[in-house]
Amino acid sequence: MKTRFSQKIKFTITVFIISLVASGNIYAHHSFAMFDRNNPTTLTGAVKIFRWTNPHSWVVLTVTNNDGSETDWQLEHGPKNMLSRQGWDESTLKPGDLISVEIHPLHNGESGARFISFQAIDVEEDELVSQGGSTIFLIPPPDPVEMTPEVARNFNGIWVNASGGIHFDTSMGRREQMPPLKPEYMARWRQRQANADAGRSTNDPTSQCLPAGFPRFLGMVYPGEILQTEHQINWFAEWGESTVRIFLDGRPHPENSPLSYNGYTTGYWEGNTLLTHTIRMRDDTLIDTTGIPHSDQLTVSMRMQKLTPDYFEVEVTLEDPVVFDRQWITIKRYSRAPEDFYIQEYSCFEGNRYQINEQGNVEMDIEN
């Protein structure tokens, strides 16, 4: 009897992984360090449960062992916001479906793993339709075109990350970027990389569904939407349902405003270029997915400029007198989203299965 899928999909590997690997090792992000990517293996079994949730979907796969006993494997897959854009939905996998799954197993030997790809068992090849999609693109900047001020100053719309990665300096690979950290903080950052390489938790706050904060916000794992009026720009990120508000009414930064994840941003126009300045970010967030630290003295300056009606660049300058020994400057790029893109709800806590253990480290709860 053939296994049936409401959407017949064959992924040799998810486009989400492909798009990020192109920029370097991704596995320190969102506690992926707990998975052994160097020893992939394959499981074959029957789907017991498919949980369609954020921040990750989950597959419980019942595998028959050599001695005839059965083991339920807990497999972490991508978030539904990503998978839905690759053709998945809540009925893609059903209880009883027989599948073969490529996995990255947990380092600790428990029956848990990262779901990498799958192939259905007893389904004819022509019944499977490959589908794919990503929310992170590598789109080189187009040649600038002349625009009226009304067009050049209008950032309204839905935009996707066109920089090709989610680390801070995407002009180079994730491993090649070198933040200008003072020696003490450089040592901490390098230790964090070593922990990730060794499969130890890096305690990324986003793995606990905490906000990414600013400027990590600019990495745009999912699309963002800009809603603009004469005196204010609201830049909304689907990831974490987070908003950066840019006040354009000439107000100064308020004295002693409370520290927050995204800080306080003011801006003004210089010709058709928007200049912004952000202060008062909390110091318990990270600059990017590699774990670069900062203090609450961090300031972020941006120069936002459209090259065409459907593409803009942001020159980002970081300054932190406590953690950095000099400025750090890079350029972020954004392209107007495909017409069928819209901002989806992102409910992180609904499927969050990470917890803090007694040692203060993030671990995956595979029992509940």
**Whether the domain at 15-134 and the domain at 149-336 fall into the same CATH topology:** no
Domain ranges of the chain: 15-134, 149-336
Which stretch of DSSP H or E encloses residue 152?
helix 149-152
What are 33's two structure tokens?
A: 């360090």
pLDDT greater than 90 at residue 315: yes
Whole-angstrom distance, CA of residue 63 vs CA of residue 76? 16
Burial 174-185 (b: 16+ CB within 10 A, else e): beebebbbeeeb
Q: What average pLDDT score do residues 204-226 get? A: 92
3-state secondary structure of 153: coil
> How many Cα atoms within 13 Å fall on the side-chain side of residue 13?
9
pLDDT in tens, 182-198: 999 999 999 988 887 77
Q: How confident is the model at residue 208, as a pLDDT?
A: 80
Regarding pTM above 0.75, the answer is yes
pLDDT in tens, 92-114: 999 999 999 999 998 888 899 99
pLDDT in tens, 39-86: 999 999 999 999 998 888 899 999 999 999 999 999 999 888 888 888
DSSP 106: B
Residue 15: pLDDT band by 50, 70, 90 thresholds?
very low
Whole-angstrom distance, CA of residue 312 vs CA of residue 165? 16
Q: Which positions ≥6 away from 329 have C-beta within 8 Å?
A: 315, 316, 317, 318
Whole-angstrom distance, CA of residue 109 vs CA of residue 315? 45
3-state secondary structure of 352: coil
Q: Indicate the fold that domain 15-134 takes in CATH.
A: OB fold (Dihydrolipoamide Acetyltransferase, E2P) (2.40.50)
Are 17 and 23 in contact by the 8 Å Cβ rule? The answer is no
Q: Give the per-residue SS3 of 55-89.
A: CCCEEEEEEECCCCCEEEEEEECCCHHHHHHHCCC
Q: What average pLDDT score do residues 246-260 get? A: 95
Residue 286: pLDDT band by 50, 70, 90 thresholds?
very high
Residue 23: pLDDT band by 50, 70, 90 thresholds?
very low
Q: How confident is the model at residue 200, as a pLDDT?
A: 72
pLDDT in tens, 139-183: 999 999 999 999 999 999 999 999 999 999 999 988 899 999 999
DSSP 32: G
Which has the minimum average pLDDT: 29-38, 121-130, 358-367?
A: 121-130
* Pairing of β 112-120 and β 70-76: parallel
The CA angle 317-323-325, to the nearest 5 degrees, is: 70
Residue 16: pLDDT band by 50, 70, 90 thresholds?
very low
> pLDDT > 70: what percent of the chain?
82
DSSP3 helix / strand / coil % (the chain, rounded to 5): 15, 35, 50
* Region of 203 on the Ramachandran plot (φ > 0 left; ψ -120 to 50 alpha; else beta): left
Q: How confident is the model at residue 119, as a pLDDT?
A: 87
Q: What average pLDDT score do residues 119-138 get? A: 60
Q: Indicate the fold that domain 149-336 takes in CATH.
A: Lipocalin (2.40.128)
Cα–Cα distance list, 256 to 136, 216, 253, 259, 281 (Å): 36, 23, 9, 8, 12
Cis before 142 (ω within 30): no
Q: Which residue has the tokens 């794919």?
A: 132
The pLDDT mean for the chain works out to: 85
The CA angle 96-105-87, to the nearest 5 degrees, is: 50
